[in-house]
Amino acid sequence: MSYFHLVLGYLPFVGIVLGFVLLFWGQGRGHVGYTKVGLLALAFAAVAVVLAWLTGGQISQPRVHYSISPELVSHHVTAARTLLWAVWLSGGFSLLAYAAITRRHRRYERLLWTALGLSFITLLLLAQVVYWGRRLHPPGSEVDENTPTALAK
């Protein structure tokens, strides 16, 4: 199940990064098309993060024979839970902004800038999840002795 988590963990990563870049590019250059695709990518990330969370929940309790540090797992799970809420919030605002652009609502600029700000915060939280998750090497992986890992020495 951990390999599904590693594979599905890239879906929200791609959605958040791509969504932020396209939304930033679209806002900076005034391209509505890039902005709309960026907003939809952030909404996709809000759905994809649920898949990553569900597959990661079953491996959140470290197995004794893997010698995984419970503290590192706890840091990763806490960061992932925060990211989950941030991605949902960012995806929700992205859908609202997409609907406002499509209907040409007069306040869509505020929603776009809010979605852009939330996606940037989400990007920072994603970096924290990746930071802690990277230390949870699967068993049998090559580990440099100078790199701090979750594997007991």
pLDDT in tens, 12-60: 889 999 999 999 999 999 889 999 999 999 999 999 888 888 887 655 5
- What's the DSSP call for residue 73? H
The answer on pLDDT for 152 being more than 50 is no
C-beta of residue 126 within 8 angstroms of C-beta of residue 13? yes
- Mean pLDDT, the chain, rounded, equals 81
C-alpha torsion 32→37→39→42, nearest 10: -160
Position with higher pLDDT, 142 vs 107: 107
Question: Residue 5: pLDDT above 80?
Answer: no
Which residues are CB-contacts of 105 (< 8 A; sequence separation ≥ 6)?
A: 99
Contact between residue 91 and residue 38 where contact means Cβ atoms under 8 Å apart: no
Per-domain boundaries in the chain: 2-134
pTM higher than 0.85, yes or no? no
Contacts of 68 (CB under 8 A, 6+ apart): 62, 136, 150, 151, 152
In the chain, what percentage of residues exceed pLDDT 90? 39
d(CA 129, CA 106): 36
